[in-house]
Structure 1
């Protein structure tokens, strides 16, 4: 044990070393395809007697509040993957915690070993899964550097075209990584420019909801549920299944709805058309990365305005609303029997002329 002041100093130094060395960072940082302004995902692994509810969300949260370098601290204990969000020296960090069935975490702890999952709960499995999936993807691609270059390119394309956002029903980092990894497996000798072109060709023709899988689905004796639409009724409703490699295999794109799938498929089709023109020297690569003109694409929009007393309240309120935009999309689809399509835009907007703490989310509507 240590005094509070010592703990605060140790946590601060630890965060600095993690940010500088990228040690312990998972998902896109683990894949080494991060770009400017990208969030840092940090997984903290602790012994069995250090729990998430008290030690992480209460004790560690209290320590972080004492750090001057930490701002916009927001615990999200009820998320699908529980975490704390904050900024450290202005850099956005998502901090996850996993308590494993060990009294002491050894220096050579290997998160990819199956034994790590023994005796842990579902939330811990999901917290561990980011690192485990990243490691597995890198093992399954034939050329890691070509994979990384192609993934950087397509992540940037997705951000420009407004289809990079897991929370609003599009695709997030792990989804894009698995899709790109499949193309690398299909074309093991292709250079990144060809892999980008083949990406759009393959997924323009892909017959969803046929799943994207990098390897066969593994079963184990640990009892965790794996993606299987034959046994699990909920899995049958997934419209764009992208299955994580390694046990327990999950659908990483369960947030995608019929409306957002339609938008993604439209963007795949347009990307394929531009790549064909590039192959014929009728277009340049800059054409592929033109931003999507969201406010010119529709004639009708649904606007969700968020107003709060101050910036701290706005951040909490905005996070709550944003996490439920996907449910709004699903209800619009259901209550109109699919006749009204909803395109949620992943970015929020604020009016600089208004003096109060506020922001707005927009959804394009079409029949």
Structure 2
């Protein structure tokens, strides 16, 4: 933030006072993460910092210079505009901007989001994954763990609503006898039999001649998944989008493959 302030020609006293911050949220911010969890973090910048320059160029170069950081991928028009690995742990790093010189060093993301909405009423908070407001047309409001209560919904389509509902019912049926001493917990944690569940699939194949570019293209593709899913629903009805990334080992170029059940 101080480098950006200096480049903008701000007075010395303002350069000294300015700062940005990174806040965690989601399972990591709530202390509910496990060894396999990724980290959801929000980069909050000052009024004079820009996403195009300071976030995608300056911050990215700073991260690239750190030996702990690897696999930095940026997708400019995605909700999660930057994704990276820190010591092998995946970190999703969206960006938000406040119309203040120095970002308040609040302890919780909830307070920051309140500041964002107060300072920038016109800001489209849909870019911040943890700050979506429930609209009355939503198929399924998801209550977020914050105060005051907010609701997320933008990833809910007819297919994802059906999938969530079906999983709740499936797990409910599996745990009816949970209080029995001989209850088998292994069945609860078994992998969903995706390949046995469906007879037809949509195959999404992405390849590139340069392996270093594949990660950025995967991020771009994932940012379009919801639009594709809505189109498929119009033609096919329900679709079960499997987020697992597969690799076609018979192809001669770097690739990733997704299979969605129909």
TM-score by length of 1: 0.57
**Post-superposition offset of 1:352:** 3.4
Q: In the alignment, what sits opposite 1:343? A: 240
Q: In the alignment, what sits opposite 2:123? A: 122
Whether the aligned pair in 1 keeps the contact of 2:75 and 2:219 (CA below 8 Å) is: no
Q: Distance in 2 between matches of 1:272 and 1:305?
A: 35
Whether the aligned pair in 2 keeps the contact of 1:226 and 1:248 (CA below 8 Å) is: no
Whether the aligned pair in 1 keeps the contact of 2:133 and 2:152 (CA below 8 Å) is: no
Equivalent of 2:96, from 73, 78, 98? 98
- Structure 1: any 5+ residue segments left out of the alignment? 3-22, 134-224, 230-235
Task: Report the CA distance shift for 1:297/1:360 in structure 2 as closer, same or farther (over 3 A).
Answer: same
What SS does structure 1 have at the residue aligned with 2:239?
A: strand
Q: In the alignment, what sits opposite 2:231? A: 331
Higher strand share: 2
**Post-superposition offset of 1:92:** 1.7
Q: In the alignment, what sits opposite 1:164? A: none
**Post-superposition offset of 1:47:** 2.9
Q: Distance in 1 between matches of 2:125 and 2:229?
A: 29
Task: Report the CA distance shift for 1:266/1:106 in structure 2 as closer, same or farther (over 3 A).
Answer: closer
Q: In the alignment, what sits opposite 2:177? A: 277
Whether the aligned pair in 2 keeps the contact of 1:274 and 1:283 (CA below 8 Å) is: no
**Post-superposition offset of 1:110:** 6.7
The Cα offsets for residues 141-167 of structure 1, whole Å up to 9 and x where unpaired, read as xxxxxxxxxxxxxxxxxxxxxxxxxxx
Task: Report the CA distance shift for 1:258/1:29 in structure 2 as closer, same or farther (over 3 A).
Answer: same
Whether the aligned pair in 1 keeps the contact of 2:157 and 2:230 (CA below 8 Å) is: yes
What SS does structure 2 have at the residue aligned with 1:44?
A: strand
Q: Distance in 2 between matches of 1:352 and 1:125?
A: 37
1:20-169 equivalences under 5 Å are 24-80=23-79, 83-105=81-103, 112=111, 114-120=114-120, 121-123=122-124, 127=128, 130=130
TM-score by length of 2: 0.77
Q: Distance in 2 between matches of 1:354 and 1:69?
A: 32
Whether the aligned pair in 1 keeps the contact of 2:75 and 2:216 (CA below 8 Å) is: no
Higher helix share: 1
Q: Once superposed, what is the RMSD of the aligned Cα atoms?
A: 3.0
- State whether structure 2 residue 186 is matched by structure 1 residue 301: no
**Post-superposition offset of 1:326:** 2.5
The Cα offsets for residues 122-159 of structure 1, whole Å up to 9 and x where unpaired, read as 246854x74xx7xxxxxxxxxxxxxxxxxxxxxxxxxx
Q: How many equivalent residue pairs?
A: 239
Q: In the alignment, what sits opposite 2:12? A: none
What SS does structure 1 have at the residue aligned with 2:37?
A: coil
What SS does structure 2 have at the residue aligned with 1:319?
A: helix
Q: Distance in 2 between matches of 1:305 and 1:269?
A: 32
Task: Report the CA distance shift for 1:46/1:226 in structure 2 as closer, same or farther (over 3 A).
Answer: closer
Task: Report the CA distance shift for 1:88/1:298 in structure 2 as closer, same or farther (over 3 A).
Answer: same
Q: Distance in 2 between matches of 1:264 and 1:116?
A: 30
- Structure 2: any 5+ residue segments left out of the alignment? 4-21
